Chains A and B, each alone.
Chain A
């Protein structure tokens, strides 16, 4: 009697191997596609541009609000701090490129100063975020 019971148990066991395969493939997919982009922390109105292209490698995001404040990593920072933060980001991922998310109403002087600071921090590829029309 006891033995018969054991055979039934063995037969009803679910084969988890295919599920494991799927789970592993999903895991690898998500590990590969994850890029830890750190958001800027503010919502800005992006300018419209027709020639805007999708940026694959933009992992340094810096935002300028309409009042001219600079936001990075969900903190409001000063212009003089930008260089150091960009330098530490480059140290983590050497192939970084920067995207400046400037509000439509922000002053271009701030934008140009910011681009200079990012360049001094060691990032040559800088783009300005836009909204594709």
Chain B
């Protein structure tokens, strides 16, 4: 296992890892000086491309390639997505609260590389501490000449604005986030045009996740090749994984990908609490189709292996369920989330998520009908034809199809359990 990159300082210096003095004492802003004084903008972009880092926000698109799409028009913007709201995910919160200067340095280097003069960090409203820590760090950085006019005596200048959200999961979707940052309802936009061409105020905009940006100082300092050398091919670098649910050691772990799920759940996460058996887990946040022990324990924990098994690593959130979990109740809770958070623009999502939640609820309440499993699948099919993963889309954004994942998961892996909850249903044990 390689050494941690992002969590090193907060582990070594828990009392003051968020301060400028500790950051500078531990090699902070060295990458920024290197970028500003020894590298051209294109050199920095080349290193990020060479790192093979895939965006940490969920879609897994290579960050350097995304940067390459930025249209030449000015002004152009960098928007950092700290609207971390996928159930199960809490790693951006730790990175922002505990090491805000690392994120800032990543923002400044990235902005320099992208030719950006104004950057934004969109932080979810439920993370006021992260916002306060980052604002204090930004105030320190302005004072010390790492932000503002002529950074460290160079001819590069950058302004940073920290913006709080208002409690809407959908704003984690990059085009909804841009609408929200423009002072509009957080409704996703049709793509194309992609934000790199027409983003904030219809100007070229790069939207990157906190974890992606926080890796940039290390990549610039140590080279893209050094980053690419960590971990398996196509899952390069260290990954912050949030694990929650029925495990002995929930928390954030910065790991090299490639281990099996067995090793992750039973070694890293400490196994199932109270000596119970593992029933199922969600490998990549609420949106992802579930994995089950009989099939997936020896599957490697990489972006591509999870994808080829019909799910996704997403933002890196593992939710573990023990043998006593009522899978219908768990699925209902997940689907209810999406119904609650649907922005309402697209009919299949707005209506479909609510119907899925209602049908699951009546099964839970003992009022299920024998045809309800077929009904659940039929509604799901209307939101996401073919019920494949990655999903076919009938909607502008992936929120609706995400709500289908818990339904396809429980009907696929736990059908007899659902049938047993439905009065008059023929219980099959296939």
Genuine A/B complex = no
User: Chain A residues in contact with chain B, CB under 8 A?
Assistant: none
